[in-house]
Structure 1
Amino acid sequence: MADRAAVVTGASSGIGEAAARSLAAAGFTVFCAARRTDRIEALAAEIGGVAVRCDVTSEADVGRLAEVVGGRLDLLVNNAGGALGQNPVADAEIDGWKQMYDVNVLGAARVTRSLLPALDAAAGTVVFVTSTAADAAYEGGAGYCGVKSAERALAGSLRLELFDRPVRVCEISPGMVRTPEFSLTRFGGDQAKADAVYAGVPDPLVAEDIADAICWMATRPAHVNIDRMVIRPRAQAANHKVFRVAG
């Protein structure tokens, strides 16, 4: 596996950074793609990867990523994404919905479309990092549930379209994962609101848990396709049912 190459989008923090580390440890040369150049350069230097500044909402950036990767790619991890806001529909911030759609859905589509020839040449694998938010709606979740449902549909359609090609299409659907930035970004930098998401939850998942699962999916034998893996902390029986220890 030493000669295998992987692209991880959103590699500057959280699940993307952890996935880049896990894949490098498994022998992949990792192209670390994200907007924050300083972070991905430091990460690439540490893991022996390649830093590529890439905003997945930019056709030009995605085109440059494809040029850097070249003609063969073994693995693409479509991880760039995130949530913005948790307002009810009556107070929806539509610009935030548009931004989420552009990154989570259109961004994954742009990157996949650009790298598909290289993945096809290497009989590669695409992993979409969606969310259990795609499973069912919840109050305040119309925007994020909608975009993650659309990303799930993107993965499913691609798998059907490539049924006669040697490219695997996988989806990993995480539940409650505590990372330094996800909830903080969702709530516009409000640390108290971000902390309240995980308050009292014993042992929420961390980025490394998801990275470990992504690496496992990507390293199955070539004839094995993990269509979708749902991964939650034990304390989260469902999106709406989470055990919390009283403070």
Structure 2
Amino acid sequence: MAKIALITGATAGIGEACAHLFAAQHYNLVLTGRRHDRLEKLAQEINAKYNVEVAVSAFDVRNRDSVISNLESLPEHWKHVDVLINNAGLSQGLDPIQNGSFDDWDTMIDTNIKGLLYVSKVVANWMINNGQGQIINLGSIAGKEVYPNGNVYCATKSAVTALSEGMRIDLLSHGIRVTAVHPGAVETEFSEVRFKGDKDRAKKVYAGFDPLVANDIAETIWFVVSRPAHVNINEIIVMPTAQATATNIFRKG
């Protein structure tokens, strides 16, 4: 029987890369995200390329009722999830605390913390009933060290670190593995979202060095998942060679 991976935020970036990689490893997939058209397109592409089963469920992780109703309405066989990849997350704005936007703060907190919790509670209970499972939480270097103007975003990713540690303790007796993966600079839609669609400003974030790409993180996640059942990688930090800390990046020229 094929294993199942449930991936949030699967419509782009790291989530999409994970979908392709896990499908290549013969996992059936539950793909979630806000953009139904992208989910359907990705599902058709993956099904044709890898010949695996794909279920899609379009919802915003910020909406608790939508998370619960959409996940619980999945057919019973899709609830035998082996791997949950909590990838949905974002940053909004880059301002000092005194100039921050309340709306941006709410979006980051509701997505990065509360959304992760909503999905995790539903799926963790499935895993407990199934007697096994693995949860991968996407953190960030921002959750390990705070940088100027990162305030609330860094706080949300610090929360992912703490929640991962708490989950590992709470789910220990159920044999459920929990890992936090903390990437450095990854060139995806992340900076475009942070800067509200300003492509030029987003591009400058990655100028002068080779950043990570989505597949680098997908491969890291697969490494974590593919360890023997008695091995858990508690957390892993992955940086581009050109990046030493959250703010120390060597840019050519």
TM-score with structure 2 setting the length: 0.93
- Do the aligned residues in 1 keep the contact of 2:31 with 2:57 (CA within 8 Å)? yes
SS at match of 1:237: coil
Q: Is the 8 A contact 1:72 1:122 kept in 2?
A: no
Of 210, 213, 224, which residue of structure 1 is paired with 2:217? 210
State how 1:67-146 maps to structure 2 within 5 Å: 67-68=73-74, 70=76, 71-120=79-128, 121-146=130-155
Q: Deviations over 1:59-100 (max 9, x none)?
A: 232122233163421010000011000001121112211110
Letter in 2 for 1:171: A
Segment of structure 1 superposing worse, 60-69 or 101-110? 60-69
Q: In the alignment, which of 56, 60, 64 is matched to residue 59 of structure 1?
A: 64
Aligned partner of 2:194 in structure 1 is 186
Asked if 1:39 corresponds to 2:49, the answer is no
- Aligned-pair distance for 1:122? 4.6
Name the SS for the 1:107 alignment partner. helix
The total of aligned residue pairs comes to: 243
Does the 8 Å contact 2:195/2:201 carry over to 1? Answer: yes
Could you give the per-residue CA deviations for residues 173-225 of structure 1, whole angstroms, max 9, x where no partner exists?
A: 0000001x110110111122111111111x21000000111112112111111
The reply to whether residue 50 of structure 1 matches residue 55 of structure 2 is yes
- What residue is the counterpart of 2:13 in the other structure? 14
| 1:110 shift after superposition | 0.2
Asked if the contact 1:32/1:52 (under 8 Å) is kept, the reply is yes
For 1:34 and 1:69, how far apart are their aligned partners in 2? 18
- Measure, in 2, the Cα distance between the counterparts of 1:66 and 1:115: 9
Contact 2:64 2:115 in 1 (8 A): no
TM-score when normalising by structure 1: 0.95
Q: Secondary structure at the match of 1:233?
A: coil
Amino acid in structure 1 at the alignment position of 2:229: A
Amino acid in structure 1 at the alignment position of 2:173: D
Does the 8 Å contact 2:131/2:174 carry over to 1?
no
Please tell me the residue identity of whatever aligns with 1:16.
G
Alignment partner of 1:220 is 2:219: no
| SS of residue in 2 equivalent to 1:230 | strand
Which stretch has the larger CA shift, 4-13 or 59-68?
59-68
CA contact (8 A) 1:73 1:122 kept: no
Of residues 229, 234, 239, the one that matches 2:241 is: 234
- 2 CA distance for matches of 1:152 and 1:36? 27
Using a 3 Å threshold, how does the CA distance of structure 1 residues 193 and 210 change in structure 2: closer, same or farther? same
Taking every aligned residue pair, what percent have the same amino acid on both sides? 39
